[in-house]
């Protein structure tokens, strides 16, 4: 009896919703999210679906920490059923990565990201200000980066990383700026498709391996690019933590600076900068930005296709590929809808094979770093990263199991992302809990690739 | 004893933190506010029916041991306790009536054992149905039955709120048939394993439908089933309720194979719940899960019956989408209004026409938007969910709709049927019409919890007087009609 039943089990197709529903990827919201409805929490029907996908709730189990519970608080605040206490309310506001998974599953289509970002902005205007944010705000105001580093050191990484490609891009950028400033050339006169690499603060000051890798990749591909010697922080962290009023100035500065240089396309290696330019800047800049915005995962595959380039990972072969799993960064995926391009890019790389984790694309689990959670609630951030790593390992265990069956030897496996914050958070947690698990950015794989016709 | 009792017990918080991790012993006012609500989105004035609707603590035990120690501590300190599941039931049942401590069960969310040989699973009662279903799915297994609210609700909640109607119930029996044993924590914190054959003071049947007044379900051992290889959908539209009910009953009574899920809805419900909806006034929907030969026989049978009743087949893609969206449909109605009001009734098979006639009589002249949704339960029983779409700011309309529900509730009880879920206010009906069961439960409750500390004012004792409720609805009906 048991053997027969076990056989039956094997024949069951479990990929489809044999039991009803789940969170089916093709499920449509009855109402599309309205990004202008800042008080949309009024429409929350308290279904609790957001609780199921909320990584913070999964770590804290606190009712105030997922979207439905927070909506309840917002309603009560509006009706003055509870008091707004600027000291006590901090956790209820900031214990959220703004990852946007709640928006994905909301059956009534509440743009929770917009609602909670607005909630933070309002709170800050009412005097809410965690101490760490105060420091961050001051640093950006003074140094144009959140790390208390000197603005003049922004491109020191070219030297510390011995990155000639970065150094040359800097020199080209400086020369280009000089010629524009002196009136030697006008932005409107530039006909070539000049590409600018917006490095971002984290890659510039903390994760130099990304900035140098990006420059090397662009150089190897033969891209005509510069970096921006006068680049300022994009303001992402300010927007996400409610300090929008302080971010607006940066928005105008960066756009004006880029426009003045006549750059046609901006490439980002940082998903946070990319999503800020994509989703926040248009709110404050009248008309078209005047330049194209692309993340590296989009740019590399597009450029390679347009120029007939093939990509080969030099450390492995087609027959013995490096098996990786891709972690969708919230800022790239749920914020900007970039899901296919990174997968297409990985598919293009000979010698690399992609295996998906259970929660991917729209339903990808957040790494735990976003929305200020890493800075303000390190322990929760670690818990969340740890659960994502568990899923990564589980995914590999399944693969290994299958590969063993096929008698194929397994070795290097990696978790790959396309966001410096995801990489950092997952890497830091992995180094404490899963030291054998390499966590890298996709640019570090591309850096080891050759591009050929 | 009320909330102030907790404040008097100065050491309570610290003492609890000795056996429950401090981060899960919350006195954060915003956490408490978020926990003071449920799916029903009740306006705050509804909470006036309670003595004290806000807790002083939200405490989240992570194991049976922690739960037991917590309840013992509350019991010894005479502190009211409210067991909170997912808050997916209705009418503030998962929020306090006398303040005190909310015991949030959802940290108890572990699966302890899946036994495919004996086809059982043992898990914590606080696990969400979705997580349990997803985990079992990896093994090609599934629960025998589960609620339509499975995306949000937890296992323990379905058990104590009867588990008589839901997905799989018609085919595999109600929740109580699937339960092998429960680990149950009584109000004084003592722990007892209760099986189908338990002969002690508490029996399995006492806990089912007890709405948490006798204690907290901590762990569940239940039977599971193999997933079938074939799933087919049946859907027909009808011009009249009579024809639709005949079709519904015929599918329900077909002993060759019972549907895994069976429902009948009016056009309003379909319209409010989906992107698009079938053309005819009533829609009967069935899902079969069996071997391919049996499901194809069921399709042929349904087609045959429907053609004799002038049923119009609904397109397959709609039927598939409806299954995919099953959990969302009842929730989706809420997007059309600020304050969705609903009432759930348990109606026997032979009273379905009577119930509907009375419902139409009561609502035909009302101005509020409504919807009708009937789901099959076990043989002979069904759950009917009536919806009233209301504006939260319009208290006259809110109470007007509640008054209509009140009339229908009284009618249904007089017809020897009942309510499906019992909240704080609904307890009044239970006491009035189920005096025998109420008396039995009261004795049990008194022995276990003489101070009525646990989930107070439910089933055995009402906060509001019957005449006050009657008067309120009498006034509401007149005000609403003449508005």
Q: Quote the tokens at residue A67.
A: 């979207």
B37 near A CB under 8 A: yes
Cβ(B339)–Cβ(B414) under 8 Å?
no
Q: Which CATH number fits domain A25-128: 1.10.3210.10, 1.10.3720.10, 1.10.1060.10, 3.40.50.720?
A: 1.10.1060.10
Could you tell me which residue, B223 or B427, shows the higher pLDDT? B223
B151 near A CB under 8 A: yes
A-chain residues near B263 (CB < 8 A): none
CB atoms within 10 A of CB B4: 11
**Rounded (10°) angle between helices A244-260 and A112-125:** 110
User: Could you say which residues from 91 to 120 on chain A have a Cβ atom under 8 Å away from some Cβ of chain B?
Assistant: 91-92, 107-108
Q: Quote the tokens at residue B297.
A: 């026989």
A84 near B CB under 8 A: no
- Which residue in the block uniquely carries the two structure tokens 């690739």? A449
Q: Report pLDDT for A13.
A: 29
Q: Would the pLDDT of B455 be above 80? A: yes
Task: Please give the backbone phi and psi of residue A99, each rounded to the nearest 5 degrees, phi first.
Answer: -80, -25
Q: Report pLDDT for A422.
A: 94
B144 near A CB under 8 A: no
**For B189-206, how does the pLDDT look when each residue is reduced to its tens digit (9 = 90+)?**
999 999 999 988 899 999
**For A209-245, how does the pLDDT look when each residue is reduced to its tens digit (9 = 90+)?**
999 999 999 999 999 999 999 999 999 999 999 999 9
A42 near B CB under 8 A: yes
Most A CBs within 10 Å: which of B30, B58, B259, as the mutation test of the A interface? B30
Q: How far is B201 from chain A (nearest CA, A)?
A: 34
pLDDT grade for A63, boundaries at 50, 70 and 90: very high
Of A20, A27, A73, the CB nearest to B34: A73
B-chain residues near A383 (CB < 8 A): none
A7 near B CB under 8 A: no
Mean pLDDT of B346-356: 97
| Kind plus residue range of the DSSP H or E element containing A268 | strand A265-268
A-chain residues near B335 (CB < 8 A): 30-31, 43, 45, 107-108
For residues B124 and B217, what is the distance between their CA atoms, to the nearest angstrom?
9
For residues A35 and A377, what is the distance between their CA atoms, to the nearest angstrom?
28
For residues A58 and B105, what is the distance between their CA atoms, to the nearest angstrom?
13
Q: How far is A95 from chain B (nearest CA, A)?
A: 12
Of A27, A43, A51, the CB nearest to B324: A27
pLDDT grade for A22, boundaries at 50, 70 and 90: very low
Cβ(B424)–Cβ(B49) under 8 Å?
yes
Most A CBs within 10 Å: which of B26, B29, B32, B34, as the mutation test of the A interface? B34
Mean pLDDT of B242-255: 96
Q: Which CATH number fits domain A149-305: 3.30.70, 3.90.550, 2.60.120, 3.40.50?
A: 3.40.50
Cβ distance of A8 and B328 shorter than 8 Å: no
Could you tell me which residue, B327 or A166, shows the higher pLDDT? A166
B326 near A CB under 8 A: yes
A73 near B CB under 8 A: yes
Cβ distance of B41 and A45 shorter than 8 Å: yes
Q: Quote the tokens at residue B349.
A: 């098979």
A398 near B CB under 8 A: no
pLDDT grade for A29, boundaries at 50, 70 and 90: low
Mean pLDDT of A92-113: 90
For residues A387 and A377, what is the distance between their CA atoms, to the nearest angstrom?
16
B227 near A CB under 8 A: yes
**Nearest residue of A to residue B145 by CA position?**
A19
pLDDT grade for B128, boundaries at 50, 70 and 90: very high
**Nearest residue of B to residue A11 by CA position?**
B229
Q: Report pLDDT for A397.
A: 61
**Nearest residue of B to residue A13 by CA position?**
B229
Q: Report pLDDT for A218.
A: 98
A82 near B CB under 8 A: yes
Q: Count CA within 13 A, CB hemisphere, residue A331.
A: 31
Of B150, B275, B340, the CB nearest to A30: B275
Q: Would the pLDDT of A2 be above 50? A: no
What is the value of pTM for the model shown? 0.91
Residue B454 bridge partners (DSSP): B81
A47 near B CB under 8 A: yes
Q: How far is A109 from chain B (nearest CA, A)?
A: 9
**For A311-331, how does the pLDDT look when each residue is reduced to its tens digit (9 = 90+)?**
999 999 999 999 899 999 999
**For B2-20, how does the pLDDT look when each residue is reduced to its tens digit (9 = 90+)?**
455 555 556 999 999 999 9
Residues with Cβ < 8 Å from B228, sequence gap 6 or more? A12, A18, B289, B290, B291
Integer angstrom CA distances of residue A415 from A365, A367, A368, A422, B178: 13, 12, 15, 10, 41
**For B49-64, how does the pLDDT look when each residue is reduced to its tens digit (9 = 90+)?**
777 888 999 999 999 9
Q: Report pLDDT for B407.
A: 94
Q: How far is A91 from chain B (nearest CA, A)?
A: 9
The beta strand positions in A25-161, using DSSP E, are none
For residues A329 and B353, what is the distance between their CA atoms, to the nearest angstrom?
54
Q: How far is B186 from chain A (nearest CA, A)?
A: 24
Helix, strand or coil, per DSSP, at residue B345: strand
A453 exposed, middle or buried (CB, 10 Å; 0-12, 13-18, 19+)? exposed
User: Could you say which residues from 179 to 238 on chain A have a Cβ atom under 8 Å away from some Cβ of chain B?
Assistant: none
Cβ distance of B140 and A62 shorter than 8 Å: no
Q: Would the pLDDT of A27 be above 80? A: no
């Amino acid at each position: 009896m048991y053997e027969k039943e076990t056989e039956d089990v094997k024949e069951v197709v479990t990929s489809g919703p044999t039991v009803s529903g789940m969170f089916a990827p093709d499920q449509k919201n009855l109402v599309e999210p309205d990004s202008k409805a800042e008080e949309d929490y009024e429409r929350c029907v308290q279904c609790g679906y957001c609780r199921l996908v909320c990584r913070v709730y999964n770590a804290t189990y606190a009712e105030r920490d997922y979207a439905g519970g927070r909506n309840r608080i917002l309603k009560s605040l509006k009706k003055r059923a509870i008091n707004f206490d600027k000291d006590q309310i901090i956790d209820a506001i900031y214990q959220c990565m703004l990852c946007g998974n709640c928006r994905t599953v909301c059956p009534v289509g509440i743009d929770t990201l917009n609602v909670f970002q607005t909630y933070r902005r309002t709170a800050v205007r009412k005097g809410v200000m965690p101490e760490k944010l105060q420091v961050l705000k001051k640093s950006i105001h003074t140094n144009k980066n959140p790390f208390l580093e000197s603005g003049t050191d922004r491109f020191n990484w070219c030297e510390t990383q011995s990155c000639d490609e970065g150094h040359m891009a800097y020199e080209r950028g400086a020369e280009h700026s000089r010629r524009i400033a002196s009136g030697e050339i006008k932005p409107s006169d530039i006909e070539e498709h000049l590409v600018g690499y917006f490095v971002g603060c984290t890659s510039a000051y903390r994760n130099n391996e990304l900035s140098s890798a990006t420059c090397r990749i662009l150089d190897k591909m033969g891209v005509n690019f510069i970096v921006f010697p006068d680049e300022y922080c994009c303001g992402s962290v300010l927007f996400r933590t409610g300090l929008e009023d302080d971010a607006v100035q940066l928005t105008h500065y960066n756009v004006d600076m880029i426009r003045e240089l006549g750059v046609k396309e901006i490439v980002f290696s940082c998903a946070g900068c990319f999503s800020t330019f994509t989703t926040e800047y248009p709110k404050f800049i009248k008309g078209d930005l005047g330049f194209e915005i692309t993340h590296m995962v989009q740019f590399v595959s597009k450029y390679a296709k347009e120029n007939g380039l093939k990509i080969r990972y030099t450390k492995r072969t087609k027959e013995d590929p490096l098996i990786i799993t891709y972690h969708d960064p919230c800022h790239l995926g749920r914020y900007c809808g970039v899901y296919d391009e990174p997968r297409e890019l990985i598919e293009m790389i000979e010698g690399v094979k992609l295996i998906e984790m259970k929660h991917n694309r729209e339903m990808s689990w957040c790494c735990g770093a976003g929305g200020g959670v890493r800075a303000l609630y390190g322990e929760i951030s670690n818990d969340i990263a740890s659960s994502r790593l568990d899923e990564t390992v589980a995914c590999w265990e399944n693969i290994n199991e299958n590969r063993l069956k096929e008698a194929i030897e397994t070795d290097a496996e990696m978790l790959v992302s396309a966001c410096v914050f995801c990489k950092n958070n997952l890497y830091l947690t992995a180094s404490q809990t899963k030291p054998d698990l390499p966590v890298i950015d996709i640019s570090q794989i591309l850096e080891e690739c050759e591009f050929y016709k | 004893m009320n909330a102030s009792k907790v404040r008097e017990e100065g050491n309570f918080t610290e003492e609890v933190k000795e056996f429950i991790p401090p981060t899960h012993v919350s006195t954060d006012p915003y956490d408490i506010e978020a926990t003071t609500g449920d799916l029903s989105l009740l306006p705050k004035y509804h909470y006036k029916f309670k003595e004290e609707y806000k807790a002083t603590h939200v405490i989240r035990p992570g194991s049976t041991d922690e739960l037991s120690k917590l309840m013992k501590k509350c019991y010894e300190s005479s502190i009211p306790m409210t067991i909170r599941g997912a808050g997916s039931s209705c009418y503030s049942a998962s929020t306090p009536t006398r303040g005190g401590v909310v015991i949030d069960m959802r940290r108890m969310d572990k699966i302890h054992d899946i036994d495919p040989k004996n086809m059982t699973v043992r898990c914590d009662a606080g696990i969400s149905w979705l997580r349990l279903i997803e985990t079992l799915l990896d093994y090609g297994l599934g629960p025998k039955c589960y609620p339509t609210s499975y995306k949000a609700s937890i296992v323990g909640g379905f058990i104590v709120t009867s588990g008589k109607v839901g997905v799989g119930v018609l085919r595999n029996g109600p929740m109580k048939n699937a339960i092998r044993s429960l680990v149950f924590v009584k109000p004084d914190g003592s722990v007892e394993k209760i099986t189908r054959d338990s002969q002690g003071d508490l029996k399995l049947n006492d806990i089912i439908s007890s709405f948490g007044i006798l204690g907290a379900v901590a762990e569940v051992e239940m039977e599971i089933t193999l997933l079938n290889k074939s799933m087919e959908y049946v859907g027909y539209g009808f011009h009249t309720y009579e024809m639709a009910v005949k079709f519904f009953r015929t599918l329900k009574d077909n002993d060759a194979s019972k549907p895994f899920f069976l429902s009948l809805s009016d056009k309003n419900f379909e319209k409010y719940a989906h992107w698009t909806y079938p053309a005819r006034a009533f829609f009967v929907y069935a899902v079969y899960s069996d071997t391919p030969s049996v499901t194809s026989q069921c399709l042929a049978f349904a087609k045959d019956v429907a053609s004799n009743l002038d049923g119009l087949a609904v397109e397959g893609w709609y039927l598939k989408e409806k299954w995919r969206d099953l959990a969302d449909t009842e929730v989706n109605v809420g997007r059309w209004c600020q304050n969705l009001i609903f009432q759930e009734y348990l109606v026997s098979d032979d009273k379905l026409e009577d119930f509907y006639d009375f419902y139409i009589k009561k609502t035909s002249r009302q101005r509020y938007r409504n919807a009708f949704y009937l789901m099959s339960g076990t043989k002979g029983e069904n759950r009917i969910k009536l919806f009233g779409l209301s504006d939260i700011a319009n208290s006259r309309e809110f109470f007007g709709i509640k008054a209509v529900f009140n009339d229908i509730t009284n009618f249904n009880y007089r017809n020897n049927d009942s309510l499906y879920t019992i909240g704080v206010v609904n307890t009044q009906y239970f006491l009035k019409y189920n005096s025998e069961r109420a008396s039995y439960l009261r004795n049990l409750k008194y022995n276990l919890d003489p101070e009525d500390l646990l989930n107070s004012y439910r089933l055995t004792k009402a906060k509001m007087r019957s005449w006050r409720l009657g008067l309120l609805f009498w006034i509401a009906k007149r005000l609403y009609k003449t508005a």
